[in-house]
A and B are shown apart, each in its own frame.
Chain A
Amino acid sequence: DGGITQSPKYLFRKEGQNVTLSCEQNLNHDAMYWYRQDPGQGLRLIYYSQIVNDFQKGDIAEGYSVSREKKESFPLTVTSAQKNPTAFYLCASSIPGQRNTEAFFGQGTRLTVV
């Protein structure tokens, strides 16, 4: 079945450490996105990529980095510069350039700083 796989489901990080969240899709979508979800705040866009080897900052990119070396993969690194990294992280993908397209989401990774 086609879909988006995020791993791990739960992740614990010590303060001062970088950590990388995985996102893989087999939907053949060109566009991929990372959102952060905090209670009562909805989802906020961190980074997005419309095509391989290209990505753009979203609304809250500070303290995060991404890469897009393959169409299927869009890993997110939460760096030690992110002051409040504990959150639920969601990866999504879509077909760019089509007005009626929706975003398809993975199951999320819950990151906790300990």
Chain B
Amino acid sequence: GDSVTQMEGPVTLSEEAFLTINCTYTATGYPSLFWYVQYPGEGLQLLLKATKADDKGSNKGFEATYRKETTSFHLEKGSVQVSDSAVYFCARGAGGTSYGKLTFGQGTILTVHP
């Protein structure tokens, strides 16, 4: 079945460091791919998305490129801030009429220190 694998965390960085969180997905069909962010005690917010191969999603300095050849959707940010501390989830959509039905990775906890 569909699955998403994220790099294990937690990830701890100093402010202004470069961030990469790896994500790979099963290649069944042509899924849309998403990164969601969750701040403590809250629901999930969409960070960025990409719907086809070679698409680049970007938002708030975060970027991720849909790589079909490596079935990857790695999240990157050039210079993290303390306010980026959160849990990050990679997700793939289902196909057919169930595009909003998502399969999530296990989440990566990011902590950024001043």
Report A's interface with B, CB cutoff 8 A: 4, 6, 31, 33, 35, 40-45, 48, 50, 90, 92-108
Whether A102 and B42, one on each chain, are in contact in the complex, defined by CB atoms closer than 8 angstroms, is: no
Whether A33 and B101, one on each chain, are in contact in the complex, defined by CB atoms closer than 8 angstroms, is: yes
Whether B106 and A33, one on each chain, are in contact in the complex, defined by CB atoms closer than 8 angstroms, is: no
Instruction: Please count how many residues in chain B sit with their CB below 8 Å of the partner chain's CB atoms.
Output: 25
Cα separation A97 to B99 with both chains bound (whole Å): 6
Whether A33 and B100, one on each chain, are in contact in the complex, defined by CB atoms closer than 8 angstroms, is: yes
Whether A105 and B106, one on each chain, are in contact in the complex, defined by CB atoms closer than 8 angstroms, is: no
Whether A48 and B101, one on each chain, are in contact in the complex, defined by CB atoms closer than 8 angstroms, is: yes
Residue in A42, A43, A103 whose beta carbon sits within 8 Å of that of B100 in the complex: A103
Whether A42 and B101, one on each chain, are in contact in the complex, defined by CB atoms closer than 8 angstroms, is: no
Whether B32 and A42, one on each chain, are in contact in the complex, defined by CB atoms closer than 8 angstroms, is: no
CB of B12, distance to nearest CB on chain A (Å): 17
